[in-house]
Amino acid sequence: MKSKLKEIDVDFIGDRRPLTKKEEAKISAFIRELKAKEAILKSINIYKTLILILIVVFTLIVMYVFKFNN
């Protein structure tokens, strides 16, 4: 069976005219929002990692203390 490939011209999306100031502002706001969300997710991941490290260290300390008390 022969399959057909259809090439798509992706050099431009939408109209060929330049963006208006309003369109540029919307795109800039969207990109800023994405970057802000990305920064929040990175900080959440850092906090999760720190909490995990603290749990592991606390567990090791407890194990060490019980080992020498028995």
Domain ranges of the chain: 22-70
Task: Tell me, yes or no, if the pTM score tops 0.85.
Answer: no
pLDDT tens-digit map of 13-65:
666 778 889 989 999 999 999 999 999 999 999 999 999 999 999 999 999 88
Secondary structure class of 1 (helix, strand, coil): coil
The structure tokens 């990109």 sit at: 31
Q: Residue 35: its pLDDT value, please?
A: 94
What is the token pair recorded at 17? 């005219």
Name residues whose C-beta falls within 8 Å of residue 27's C-beta, 6 or more positions apart in sequence: 19
What count of residues does the chain have?
70
